[in-house]
Structure 1
Amino acid sequence: MKEILQNLDFQPVIHPYIWKNELEMYSYTEKLKNEGLIRIASYEEFLFDEDDTELYTQQFRELYKHLGEYYETTDSIKRADDLPDNCDIFNYRRAETSIGDVHVILMAAYMDIPVIFTEDGDISALKSIAKNRISNESYQMEIYNALDALELIIKRPDCIFSKKEIEKMLNEIKERPHRSKFKQLWDTYHGDNSK
């Protein structure tokens, strides 16, 4: 993980909701934070006053509803159940929903963060929201999963990973069926050697 983050020249910024509800309990993410490889955003960085918080809450509810409609029309196994009218979206948690994804998309839009990395099982839904509801002429949001990130790394002229290391990574992230594609990609950008 450290080498991937360093090789991409990104310093991930983690939404405070995601940190509190999904990552804080893991020692390896705490270590990444302590080593300065990831940064936890604070709400004060993108919600400056009560008006911002109200707008964010309204946009959150709209995007969450849109995501639920997308899941319904595509027969996705994921869901975005209706939120209770009085729920505090900053603390409300419900397993197997996409609350965290909506928080991440909104924070990225508010902070003009151009790239989101996710391992969400339904990345197509998130890309649809980003394209149709967030991106505009002055701001484009890209959403990548682990395979996309690996492709970005391979395409770098100074890629620090060998073809064998790329294969090992694919095995570790349970993406073994993509080994052939990524070997060919490696050969295209770094020559046909199996280093």
Structure 2
Amino acid sequence: MVKNEAIIDTCFIEKITSGGSKVENIKIVLEELEYKPVVHPYVAKHELSLHSYSNDLIETGYIRKIEYSEFVPDEDDKLMYEDYFYQVYEDMRQFLEAKGGPKQIEKLVLPKNQDIYSYHRQGSSLGDVHMILMAAFMRLPIILTEDSDIELLRTIAKKRVSLGDFRLDIYNGVELLKKIAANDTPSLTKKDLESILLNMGERSKRSELRAVWNEHHTTE
């Protein structure tokens, strides 16, 4: 396991690459921060494989697909992982129901001959639960996502899973660009960062990005 490995999800890849039209941007941004992208095998199989540009990032080895054997190496670990999965998912479902917002998820009832590794349902946040548990089991400290549910899942996981002093940082694409802008000696210019930001469809965040850059630099 590499220290600066960062778990990425589908919505992050889609946003940072502008839906696959600017695939080079994910490499530019992550290499600047020295992050090595990894993906949960569930997300790789059920989500990234559906799009040629994201699947290619795995096939070429740029994104490392983590295997289940790395974080659930034996039957005891597998049973523990599955137990946590159901608990975290149900906690999230109950929270969303109590909150009464537009997003609601159904109780997790698996069809016959399916399990949590094979079953996929659009909009159910199953992939998010898998990611947060892999982060906890492997002590991977970074998740890159555009999904706000991850913050909720982090809170739930802290209550359910024994994490000790493990800290998990969660960033979206705009936050990564701000991190680069705050670096003392970035290889990217302010114009480079603004271009990526515009490609991501985040024009409204340009003034924030400029403010971070100007706070740390006297040149463009």
TM-score by length of 2: 0.79
- Runs of 5+ unmatched residues, structure 1: none
How much has 1:28 moved relative to structure 2?
2.1
- 1:158 matched residue in structure 2: 185
Bigger Cα displacement from structure 2, 63-72 vs 129-138: 129-138
- Runs of 5+ unmatched residues, structure 2: 1-25
The 5 Å alignment of 1:126-137 reads: 126-134=153-161, 136-137=163-164
1:38 and 2:66 correspond: no
The 5 Å alignment of 1:59-74 reads: 59-74=84-99
How many residue pairs are counted as aligned between the two chains? 193
Counterparts in 2 of 1:93 and 1:172: CA distance versus 1, 3 Å: same
How much has 1:76 moved relative to structure 2?
3.2
How much has 1:5 moved relative to structure 2?
1.5
Structure with the larger RCO, 1 or 2 (CA within 8 Å, 6+ apart): 2
Find the aligned partners of 2:144 and 2:90 in 1 and give their Cα distance. 22
Bigger Cα displacement from structure 2, 159-168 vs 37-46: 159-168
Question: In the alignment, residue 101 of structure 1 is paired with which amino acid?
Answer: D
Counterparts in 2 of 1:76 and 1:122: CA distance versus 1, 3 Å: farther
SS in 2 for 1:181: helix
- 1:95 matched residue in structure 2: 122
How much has 1:65 moved relative to structure 2?
0.9
2:41 to 16, 21, 27: 16
Find the aligned partners of 2:103 and 2:138 in 1 and give their Cα distance. 27
1:110 and 2:137 correspond: yes
SS in 2 for 1:24: helix
8 Å CA contact retained: 1:65, 1:80: no
Find the aligned partners of 1:172 and 1:37 in 2 and give their Cα distance. 21
How much has 1:182 moved relative to structure 2?
0.9
Bigger Cα displacement from structure 2, 58-67 vs 132-141: 132-141
Question: In the alignment, residue 98 of structure 2 is paired with which amino acid?
Answer: T
Q: What is the alpha-carbon root mean square deviation over aligned residues?
A: 2.0
How much has 1:61 moved relative to structure 2?
0.5
Q: Share of identical aligned residues, percent?
A: 38
The C-alpha deviation readout for 1:21-56, integer Å capped at 9, x for no partner, is 110232222332344321001101111111111111
How much has 1:69 moved relative to structure 2?
2.1
8 Å CA contact retained: 1:130, 1:141: no
Find the aligned partners of 2:199 and 2:29 in 1 and give their Cα distance. 14
How much has 1:134 moved relative to structure 2?
4.6
Question: In the alignment, residue 94 of structure 2 is paired with which amino acid?
Answer: E
1:49 and 2:74 correspond: yes
8 Å CA contact retained: 1:15, 1:42: yes
How much has 1:132 moved relative to structure 2?
4.2
Find the aligned partners of 1:134 and 1:117 in 2 and give their Cα distance. 21
Counterparts in 2 of 1:175 and 1:21: CA distance versus 1, 3 Å: same
Question: In the alignment, residue 204 of structure 2 is paired with which amino acid?
Answer: P
Counterparts in 2 of 1:151 and 1:55: CA distance versus 1, 3 Å: same
- 1:147 matched residue in structure 2: 174
TM-score by length of 1: 0.88
The C-alpha deviation readout for 1:147-195, integer Å capped at 9, x for no partner, is 222222222223222222222222222222111111100111222x4x3
